[in-house]
Structure 1
Amino acid sequence: VNLRAVTSWVGIARLFAVVLSCIAFSLVASTGDFRGPYGTWCMFTWCFCFAVTLLVLVLELLELYPKLPLSWDDFTSAFSMLAALMVFTTSVIFPSIFISSPCSSSKCARQAVATTVSCLCFLAYALEVGLTRAKPGDISSFLSTVPGLLKVFEAYVACLIFSLLDTYTSEAGLQWCVAVYSICFVITLLIIIFTIGRCLTYMPCPLEKMLVGYNTLALVMYITATVLWPLYSFRGRNRPNTCGRNCWWDKHLGVTFLTIFNLIAYLVDLVYSTRMVFI
């Protein structure tokens, strides 16, 4: 038994994440008000993070993880980053959808507490990311480096973009943007999977050089998407007066901002990847 799995700072952060995510989904489940796609997403996030983090703790406590055919450090680094992003998104979505003002009922109070607990859970995962992040110059665990963590961020933002896509088939420019999002997502996801699965040794060229080439290409593609998406989405089309929660205009605006976020991520990724090769 490896007691450091629960007594180290990383272990303590994981314990907090397990407890807080459990409290969050328990409180929301007690209200019975989590229907619809947004409620389902929030409950899935808390339950998924709770289950996987608990599994990580058990495997490390019993020292069973070396028997798994994967890079454990890369897996835990990628998961903690993914969990932080998922819980952060949930902590924003849940109160904006389910909590209304004034908040005076016991149901609303439980939802507010669940939101607060979810925010604390995000901080626990963010702390884990900070504690497990590789030191400068250490590339033994790629997904714990800044470029590796950015890969998880880029893939997650692409998933958010996909969730907002609806009407884009009528314009060739928008179709190109969707192709950009899809191509970059698939390649980024493959890099993450190959890293966790210890398949990078089969690459025909060193990972660092491949990342520089891919990040350069992805950056150029995202620059075109950053220009074309708002140009073709909003050209001659004002926001409708009856723009509700699922309004296409708001979704396209969300895609615009998420595209900019990923553009910045790929730019930072390129800078760090270049430093890994040439410095």
Structure 2
Amino acid sequence: MSTGVTYPNMEDRNTVCCFLRLPQLFSTCVAFSLVADMGIWRGSIGNWSMSIWCFCFAVTLMIVTVEYFDFESRFPFFWYNLPITYACYAILLCLLTSIIYSITYVRFLPDGPLRDRAMAASVLSCVASVLYGIDVTFVWNYYGFEEITCYVHTLPGLLKVLETFVACVIFAFLSNTSLYLHQPALEWCVAVYSICFIWAALAMLLKLGDWENILPVPFPIFQLGLILLSVILYISALVLWPLYQFYEEFGGQPQWSSDISCIYDLMCAWIQQLAVAILTAINLLIYVADLMYWACQVSIGTEDQPRNF
């Protein structure tokens, strides 16, 4: 099937590789190496940051390999969808990592080689975020998405990116299992985050792969149903998570001062609980916006259907 898409020629591919992809690999790899070299001083935030930089490096390397050996046509979806979608996530991930790593760890380090190394890693993470942003701009201009719609440059695509990204940040905080284990209500909240993330990722995959036609119902109705369920589930999480984390009647801690570890650790358990609650509310708002969009789409589609009198 003809798509009207022309893949970059060798000259354009080499330009992108030399001026964007190789610097992306360099910045994420060096940031990872600088923090890894800190040994036991890198802390839990350092380990989390390293995992983000390692992920970005690995996916960028895969993209470089595919483009270098001209394997784009072997993918079951249009190749440009993958790099530009990944680059959108990488912008957010690298920027968020540099901010969190700086404000929760770097600024508390004493002056010396360790602090210099951590600051350099934060700067390189910011540089990587900028490079991924330029990558998105280049792909947009090259393929001419004014004529060919790229999913992540549409409103529903952007909302899906935000939904899954916020969920990933929530999962980062939930890596501290002591926040919810052995508490059924809080374990339900974790299940909600996981289920809604899987649904959003599934919808995105169907759209990226142009597989909407395999569904037994029209894609807008499918989306509307999933998002409506996600909104209901997130409402339950928004009620239960703060209730069982911050109210004494349910075993919670109403103030940060009640968690002694907060005196010494800016990312103590109470702060992590609060972060999850705030991110839950943010993601609920994103899902509500998504629900309104697809409700309008389904309504317009229904009005366009021929009526029998």
Q: TM-score range by the shorter chain?
A: 0.7 to 0.9
Q: Aligned residue for 2:15? A: 7
Following the alignment from structure 1 to structure 2, what is the Cα–Cα distance between the partners of residues 106 and 170?
A: 42
Alpha carbons of structure 1 residues 94 and 33: separation in structure 2 relative to 1, 3 Å: farther
Q: Aligned residue for 2:60? A: 53
For structure 2, the residue ranges without an aligned partner over 5 or more in a row are 1-8, 302-309
The answer on 1:147 being equivalent to 2:163 is no
Alpha carbons of structure 1 residues 110 and 247: separation in structure 2 relative to 1, 3 Å: closer
Following the alignment from structure 2 to structure 1, what is the Cα–Cα distance between the partners of residues 182 and 31?
A: 42
Q: How many percent identity over aligned positions?
A: 34
TM-score where L is the length of structure 2: 0.74
Amino acid paired to 1:142: Y
Alpha carbons of structure 1 residues 101 and 157: separation in structure 2 relative to 1, 3 Å: closer
> What is the CA distance between 1:168 and its match in structure 2?
3.6
Contact 2:35/2:46 (CA < 8 Å) preserved in 1?
Answer: no
Contact 1:13/1:128 (CA < 8 Å) preserved in 2?
Answer: yes
The answer on 1:227 being equivalent to 2:236 is no
How much is the aligned-residue C-alpha RMSD, in angstroms? 3.3
Contact 2:180/2:187 (CA < 8 Å) preserved in 1?
Answer: yes
Following the alignment from structure 2 to structure 1, what is the Cα–Cα distance between the partners of residues 274 and 83?
A: 33
Contact 2:98/2:126 (CA < 8 Å) preserved in 1?
Answer: yes
The answer on 1:178 being equivalent to 2:194 is no
Q: Aligned residue for 1:164? A: 173
Following the alignment from structure 1 to structure 2, what is the Cα–Cα distance between the partners of residues 136 and 232?
A: 48
How many residues align? The count is: 277
Amino acid paired to 2:290: D
Alpha carbons of structure 1 residues 146 and 127: separation in structure 2 relative to 1, 3 Å: farther
Moved more, 175-184 or 107-116: 175-184
Alpha carbons of structure 1 residues 172 and 113: separation in structure 2 relative to 1, 3 Å: closer
Counterpart pick for 2:218 among 203, 206, 209: 206
Amino acid paired to 1:210: F
The answer on 1:249 being equivalent to 2:261 is no
> What is the CA distance between 1:242 and its match in structure 2?
0.7
Contact 1:17/1:121 (CA < 8 Å) preserved in 2?
Answer: yes
Counterpart pick for 2:101 among 94, 97, 119: 94
Moved more, 267-276 or 73-82: 267-276
Query: Residues 181-200 of structure 1: matches in 2 within 5 Å?
Result: 181-200=193-212
Q: Aligned residue for 2:32? A: 25
TM-score where L is the length of structure 1: 0.81
Aligned with 2:261: secondary structure?
A: coil
Following the alignment from structure 1 to structure 2, what is the Cα–Cα distance between the partners of residues 101 and 88?
A: 20
Amino acid paired to 1:238: P
Moved more, 165-174 or 185-194: 165-174
Following the alignment from structure 2 to structure 1, what is the Cα–Cα distance between the partners of residues 148 and 136?
A: 15
Alpha carbons of structure 1 residues 268 and 112: separation in structure 2 relative to 1, 3 Å: same
> What is the CA distance between 1:158 and its match in structure 2?
1.9
Larger Rg: 2
Amino acid paired to 1:152: V
Q: Aligned residue for 2:73? A: 66
Following the alignment from structure 2 to structure 1, what is the Cα–Cα distance between the partners of residues 34 and 76?
A: 37
